[in-house]
Structure 1
Amino acid sequence: MKYRYCVYLLLMNLIVIIAIFSYKNRYSVFFRNEQVPTNTVISYTKVKISTPKICSDDIELLILIPSTTWNFKQRDAIRRTWGNTKSSDAKTKVVFFTGQCINDTLHKVIEEEMALFRDVVQENIKESYQTLTEKSIALLRWASSNCPKVTYVLKTDDDMFINIQNLVNVLRERKPTKAILGVKNSHSSPFRDKGSKWYVSREQYSKDRYPPYISGTAYVMTGDIISALYNSTRHVPLLFIEDVYITGICREQIGAEAIYLPGFDSSKNNGKINGKHFEKRITGHHFSPQDIIQMWDELMRE
């Protein structure tokens, strides 16, 4: 297993280097500050979906992470740090959700990753900011089908740093039910400026204000709403702004609460790379894989 893991890491880094140099002059789209080749032809017609093992009944915290297909280093950093099953005294499970590959080479590498770790679900969804809602619906569907008895579900981005033990302690103390928890946003209005990245037309959403919602960088859903929340997405009109749609509109549809949870932070790190900052905090946003590993070592250091 250790040998296969070393081979995988070597292959992963080689593919990233090849991709950067092979397509250096052919990038035209940016996704979360990463350059994406748009003129690569995908030669297969159907994405292979590989599903991790079904949850056991005693999973306390299921961690679901939307991740861009080629974010190998982000996923590896999470596995080695806060996503590791030994990061808390709770029974946890991590599952990553990716979209389509941009070429056959990356497709082969991610298949190897799936076979090695069995923690990646690949959906037939194009990698784009506009499809983040679709990916979140996919993870709700997977959780509803494969982990129906889970106590809590954490949905988080792959550039987050999270103190899982602190989160588990707070949830055990508060024992929330029928709720979504995290950084709460109230009184937000749709952007009606057509030049905005977040432009929403009256046809897409007619009201002048969004319902209260929880920031999509990281939020906790209580296990008792997962199936209902997923089912609501089957009839609530789709909105590409993922957190507004899932934690606002659909949450309101099923009568669940939106609750602010102290310790959550959705702002960028602003250069504050120090694991000791998370001794009492729960989440932090916008960290590189190197940052995550460094901060984890600092947090674990006596």
Structure 2
Amino acid sequence: MPTMKDVLRQLFRLIGISSLVSILLWQTREGFTQPRSRETLDIFRRNQLMKQYEESVQFNAHELNWTTANMAKVLMFKGLEPETYKSSNLRNAVRYGVMEHGTKDSDLGSLMDNWVADVEVHDYAYLINPHQKCDVPPHLPKAILLVICVLSAPQNWERRDVIRSTYGNESVWPASREGASMVRVVFMLGAVKDVALQASIESEAARFGDIVQENFVDSYLNLTRKTVMTLKWVTKFCGNAIFMMKADDDIILNVQKVTTFLLLSPPEDFTAGKKGKPIRVMRTKNSKYYTPYHVYNSTHYHPYYLGGAGYFFSLDVAYRILDMAQRIPLFPWEDIFVSNCMRELGIPITRTKNFAWGKYTVSNGRLINDTQCIRFRDRYLVAKGLPANHMMKLWTFTQAMT
């Protein structure tokens, strides 16, 4: 007569065989073959995440769960806006003679001495607005995964062209089962005084349909306004997005890693970026980052901030930050200002491992080398601080290897 130990042994054996058969049947149904390289494994894993995402989370079932208060905030932003580009509506930009991009650091120092930290409701008018950018045809899934808002200087057309040829090409991102891209990309610009430059921007906008422009002067000291503009535009016109990204125009994204990262991230109460470190406040007047005592009187900036090269928010977080941004005084450095809003709201800043890479070495005008490209492809979401030709080099290399 078999003992209890023998019965248990047979039972576990049957369970093991049953589990193995189930796994084999699942692999056969999914057309799975054992990946033979890290790249193949990444593609398989990403495809499985895409399927799970579509079937059980966002594309067919997810509805943005905004409360009545959230919707009230959206309606609030549809208030009166100035109809034309008038200097009286430019506040610090004109009152203190803020010049457009290209202002010398020595001139910035004088302008910073006159900075007044006002609380500002962001009521600037749109000069160019592709408001339909995030619209989705009725037969396609309503939600999109990500809106990337690139803060670009008006004259940086070369960088914008590189971005459009790389991660700004929406077709390089994964698509839903119906073939619609999961990502939208727009460029955020302020106003310019040069008539010829404005005409060029309008021509570029008509050709590509990806430029948003408001009527405050586009200047280095107005980057905070441009960031608030970004939050306002996304929440007002892309409310069907799950995540947004604020990005500088000198970065490249690792599309494969960003996609997988976001598909594994919670759709609410989410932030991601490179956490800052305590930085000494620059008091040298000819420095680009000069900050006088009346603007900030501590010796170091609070380490509670996200690096400004790029960061991600879920849309509910973007709504909350936008609301707070119109309740506290503006600060000239946008990454510090956004993080001040987060601190007031109690939104935690957590360090995102291997988020941004910027420790490349370039000498004698040479491009970044293959080893550096491999390092970025294998580890990081974002490469920052790149000249336009390095952006293209990094993209071309990593895409070819992928």
TM-score normalized with structure 1 length: 0.78
Q: 1:99 & 1:268 partners in 2: Cα distance?
A: 30
Q: What is residue 229 of structure 1 aligned with on the other side?
A: 321
Tell me the secondary structure at the aligned position of residue 356 of structure 2: coil
Distance 1:75 1:114, change over 3 A: same
- Tell me whether 1:101 sits opposite 2:192 in the alignment: yes
Q: Which residue does 1:250 correspond to in 2?
A: 341
2:393 counterpart residue number: 294
Structure 2: runs of 5+ lacking an equivalent = 1-99, 106-124, 136-141, 176-181, 363-367
Task: State the match for 2:262 in structure 1.
Answer: 171
Give the SS at the match of 1:94.
strand
Secondary structure of the structure 1 residue equivalent to 2:215:
coil
CA distance in 1, matches of 2:292, 2:309: 24
Residue of 106, 122, 143 corresponding to 2:213: 122
1:60 maps to 145
| Letter of the 2:391 counterpart | I
Q: Deviations over 1:154-177 (max 9, x none)?
A: 111111011122012122224364
The aligned counterpart of 1:283 is 382
Structure 1 residue identity aligned to 2:316:
D
Encode CA deviations 1:240-261: one digit per residue, 9 max, x unaligned: 0110101x10111222121221
Q: Is the 8 A contact 1:77 1:289 kept in 2?
A: yes
Letter in 1 for 2:389: Q
Aligned match of 2:97: none
Cα separation, partners in 2 of 1:224 and 1:157, compared to 1, 3 Å: same
2-side partners of 1:142 and 1:29: how far apart?
22
Aligned residues: 262
Matched, 1:49 2:128: yes
| Aligned pairs (5 A) from 1:24-39 | 30=102
Q: Report the identity percentage.
A: 26
Distance 1:289 1:187, change over 3 A: closer
Partner of 2:29: none
Normalized per residue, the structure richer in helix is 2
- Alpha carbons 1:60, 1:151 under 8 Å: kept: yes
Once residues 202 and 361 of structure 2 are traced to their aligned partners in structure 1, the CA distance between those partners, rounded to angstroms, is 35
Match of 1:38 in 2: none
Task: Supply the distance in 2 between the matched residues of 1:161 and 1:292 (Cα, whole angstroms).
Answer: 6
Picking from 230, 237, 241, the partner of 2:333 is 241
Given that 2:148 and 2:184 are in contact with CA atoms closer than 8 Å, whether structure 1 keeps it comes out as yes
Unaligned runs of 5+ in 1: 1-27, 34-45
The Cα of 1:108 is off from its aligned counterpart by: 1.1
Work out the CA distance in 2 between the residues paired with 1:156 and 1:185. Answer: 16
Change beyond 3 A, Cα 1:127–1:67: same
Shift of 1:202: 4.6
CA distance in structure 1 between the partners assigned to 2:101 and 2:324 by the alignment: 32
Alpha-carbon distance between aligned partners in 2 of 1:106 and 1:292, rounded to the nearest angstrom = 24
Aligned AA (1:277)? R
Residue number in structure 2 paired with 1:151: 242
Question: Given the superposition, is the C-alpha separation of residues 101 and 245 from structure 1 closer, same or farther in structure 2, using an over 3 Å criterion?
Answer: same
Structure-1 residue corresponding to 2:289: 198
Q: Is the 8 A contact 2:101 2:153 kept in 1?
A: no
User: 1:47-81 CA distances to partner (integer Å, 9 max, x unpaired)?
Assistant: 83333424244210110001000111111111111
Alpha-carbon offset, residue 30 of structure 1: 3.5
* 1:83 and 2:83 aligned: no
Aligned-pair Cα RMSD in Å = 2.6
Partners in 2 of 1:62 and 1:259 — Cα distance?
21
Deviation (angstroms), 1:230: 0.7
Partner residue in 1 for 2:231: 140
- Asked whether the 8 Å contact 1:181–1:260 carries over to 2, the reply is yes
Give CA-to-partner distance per residue, 1:8-47, whole Å, 9 cap, x none. Answer: xxxxxxxxxxxxxxxxxxxx984599xxxxxxxxxxxx98
CA distance in 2, matches of 1:228, 1:106: 35
Structure number with greater Rg is 2
User: How far apart, in 2, do the equivalents of 1:145 and 1:123 lie?
Assistant: 14
What SS does the aligned partner of 1:65 have?
Answer: strand
Question: 2:253 is matched with which residue?
Answer: 162
Q: Is the Cα contact below 8 Å between 1:273 and 1:291 reproduced in 2?
A: no
Partner Cα separation in structure 2 for residue 69 and residue 94 of structure 1: 16
1:219 lines up with 2:311 in the alignment: yes
Write the letter of the residue equivalent to 2:205: M
Structure 1: distance between partners of 2:103 and 2:276: 24
Please state how far the C-alpha of 1:297 moved relative to its aligned partner. Answer: 1.7
SS at match of 1:123: strand
What's the TM-score, normalizing by structure 2?
A: 0.59
Given residue 127 of structure 2, which amino acid in structure 1 is its aligned partner?
Answer: K
